[in-house]
């Protein structure tokens, strides 16, 4: 089906002129005719007209007067005026008042009329396309801005303080409350805590909770990294300054401009890099390796340390001016053993993350497994807990993971009366008779073996080289209680 012809309105008080125009245009246009402005107005109200050819001199309203009304009521319609007069005043009036696209003078040639009509129809189409595209661009722009803001919000929420898991009575709650306060103030913050306690996650949450959340967040760990590599990563380098670098290398201080840079393991910086970082912390200026020019960057510095920087300053291993420049605010992240109430929540979350990563769905941890995990000291903090969850997932055969999957050293590390873990080395070098200390170790081995073997006493006795009677006697002697079962259908003995 072919497209409809463009519609054109022909207005002239002379009938023969209207007939002549119709004959010239009817092959290419859907022609409507009117003998005066009033008739033309009625036609405009009832039809969709793209182009108007109107005579200037007509009884009643002139062509300029009519086209002026058209401009106000139907501004998209392309307006062409036809006149047998060439008074300058008429032309100026038409241009100013009616927004005329083109003049045609009488007598006109049919080819001239057709060409003018086609050009006017093309202009109408182009104007409509332009308006449509403009509307689409405005809509798309608003849509993109909305989606971008939604993405930013999701990013802030996904990487913000809500991502730092903790229980309702967790010691982390006070730390998070302080971090929220510090986040909204553009000051350097030192985050201290043992390795694996989540200093990077806290620094990232502070960035996404700050006014710089729309800008980049970068991080670098200085522990165990050579001085030259750290210098390149932090400050960048000019082409040819270092062997193997054929182009200018942009450092993190430049990449993080108007954003945040988290430098973990800050205590491991050499004196030379401490001095260079001090210059940047003082006035935001630095020199790339091999460069002579001084660059500037607006970066918020967050730093992390597992060492007590005050002690490092006291013993001369860390610059005091840099310490005070970086520690306008200080956050101390507690170890995992200081937040045992968070272990169940963290363990379940890390287990589900591992299950999603490795494509092995599980339903969670049994209550007995959680108790063992909660009672352990976790010297490796969150990293060690994450490793343990992955290990348990790998060896799991059921959807609920029981204590038999837990590593042996964790099962053996039963808590003392105060809830603190008495480690093997503590027992070995501690006080007490040989008999008492040996019995402590024996009790741990028994508990670990029974738990790992799901309290199958026959298998436990066989592994430990005991008779079943001897194993029962030791269980009774040490008061080792069998934990509640995850499923009532399991039998603990092989008869």
337-478: what CATH class?
Answer: mainly alpha
Question: pLDDT tens, 395-416?
Answer: 988 889 988 888 888 887 754 4
Mean pLDDT of all residues in the chain?
Answer: 83
Question: pLDDT tens, 154-184?
Answer: 555 556 787 788 888 889 999 999 999 999 8
CB 100 within 8 A of CB 81: yes
- Residues 94-121, mean pLDDT to the nearest whole number: 82
CB 334 within 8 A of CB 205: no
CB 273 within 8 A of CB 234: yes
Q: Distance (Å, rounded) from C-alpha 102 to C-alpha 88?
A: 15
What is the reported pLDDT for 279? Answer: 93
pLDDT level of residue 275 (50, 70, 90 thresholds): very high
pLDDT over 70 at 85, yes or no: no
For the chain, give every residue range classified as CATH 3.40.50.300. 162-334
For the chain, give every residue range classified as CATH 3.40.50.2300. 7-129
Return the percentage of the chain with pLDDT > 90, whole number: 40
For the chain, give every residue range classified as CATH 1.10.8.60. 337-478
Question: pLDDT tens, 362-372?
Answer: 898 988 888 88
pLDDT level of residue 418 (50, 70, 90 thresholds): very low
What is the reported pLDDT for 440? Answer: 72
Q: Distance (Å, rounded) from C-alpha 358 to C-alpha 338?
A: 30
What is the reported pLDDT for 416? Answer: 44
Q: Distance (Å, rounded) from C-alpha 398 to C-alpha 441?
A: 31
CA atoms within 13 A on the CB side of 127: 13
Question: pLDDT tens, 427-455?
Answer: 665 666 776 677 677 777 777 776 767 77
pLDDT level of residue 189 (50, 70, 90 thresholds): very high
pLDDT level of residue 489 (50, 70, 90 thresholds): very low
- Render 158-204 in DSSP notation, one character per residue: HHSGGGS---TT-THHHHHHHHHHHHTS---EEEE--TTS-HHHHHH
- Residues 13-31, mean pLDDT to the nearest whole number: 90
What is the reported pLDDT for 152? Answer: 56
Q: Does domain 162-334 have CATH number 3.40.50.300?
A: yes
What is the reported pLDDT for 495? Answer: 36
Question: pLDDT tens, 210-241?
Answer: 889 888 899 999 998 998 899 999 998 887 77
Fold classified for 7-129 = Rossmann fold (3.40.50)
What is the reported pLDDT for 420? Answer: 41
Phi, psi angles (nearest 5°) of residue 80: -125, 135
pLDDT over 50 at 491, yes or no: no
């Amino acid at each position: 089906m072919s497209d409809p012809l463009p519609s054109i309105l022909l207005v002239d008080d002379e009938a023969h002129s209207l007939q002549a125009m119709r004959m010239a245009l009817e092959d290419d246009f859907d022609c409507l005719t009117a003998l005066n402005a009033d008739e033309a107005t009625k036609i405009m109200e009832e039809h969709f007209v793209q182009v108007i050819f109107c005579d200037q001199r007509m009884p009643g309203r002139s062509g300029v007067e009519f086209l002026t009304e058209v401009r106000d009521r139907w501004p998209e319609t392309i307006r062409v005026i036809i006149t047998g007069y060439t008074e300058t005043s008429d032309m100026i009036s038409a241009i100013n008042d009616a927004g005329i696209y083109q003049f045609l003078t009488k007598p006109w040639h049919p080819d001239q009329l057709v060409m003018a009509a086609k050009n006017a129809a093309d202009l109408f189409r182009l104007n409509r396309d332009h308006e449509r595209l403009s509307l689409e661009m405005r809509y798309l722009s608003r849509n993109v801005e909305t989606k971008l803001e939604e993405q930013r919000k999701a990013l802030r929420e996904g990487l913000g303080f809500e991502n730092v898991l903790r229980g309702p009575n967790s010691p982390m709650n006070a730390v998070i409350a302080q971090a929220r306060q510090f986040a909204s103030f553009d000051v350097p913050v030192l985050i201290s805590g043992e390795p694996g306690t989540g200093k990077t996650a806290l620094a990232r949450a502070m960035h996404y909770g700050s006014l710089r959340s729309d800008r980049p967040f970068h991080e670098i760990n200085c522990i165990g990294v050579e001085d030259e590599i750290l210098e390149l990563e932090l400050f960048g380098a000019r082409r040819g300054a270092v062997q193997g670098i054929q182009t200018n290398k942009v450092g993190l201080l430049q990449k993080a401009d108007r954003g945040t840079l988290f430098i973990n393991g800050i205590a491991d910086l050499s004196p030379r890099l401490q001095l260079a970082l001090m210059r940047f912390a003082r006035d935001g200026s630095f020199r790339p390796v091999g460069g002579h020019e001084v660059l500037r960057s607006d970066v918020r510095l967050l730093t992390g340390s597992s060492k007590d920087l005050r002690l490092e300053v006291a013993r001369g291993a860390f610059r005091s001016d840099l310490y005070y420049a970086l520690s306008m605010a200080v956050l101390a992240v507690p170890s995992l053993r200081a937040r045992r109430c968070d272990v169940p929540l963290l363990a379940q979350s890390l287990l589900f993350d591992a299950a999603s990563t490795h494509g092995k769905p599980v339903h969670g941890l049994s209550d007995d497994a959680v108790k063992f995990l909660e009672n352990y000291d976790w010297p490796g903090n969150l990293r060690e807990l994450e490793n343990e969850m992955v290990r348990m997932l790998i060896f799991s055969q059921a959807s609920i993971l029981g204590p038999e999957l837990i590593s042996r050293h964790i099962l053996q590390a039963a808590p003392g009366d105060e809830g603190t873990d008495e480690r093997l080395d503590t027992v070995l070098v501690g006080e007490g008779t040989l008999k008492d200390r040996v019995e402590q170790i024996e009790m741990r081995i028994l508990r670990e073996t029974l738990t790992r073997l799901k309290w199958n006493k026959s298998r436990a006795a066989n592994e430990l080289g005991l008779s079943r009677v001897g194993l029962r006697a030791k269980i009774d002697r040490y008061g080792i209680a069998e934990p509640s079962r995850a499923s009532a259908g399991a039998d603990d003995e092989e008869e």
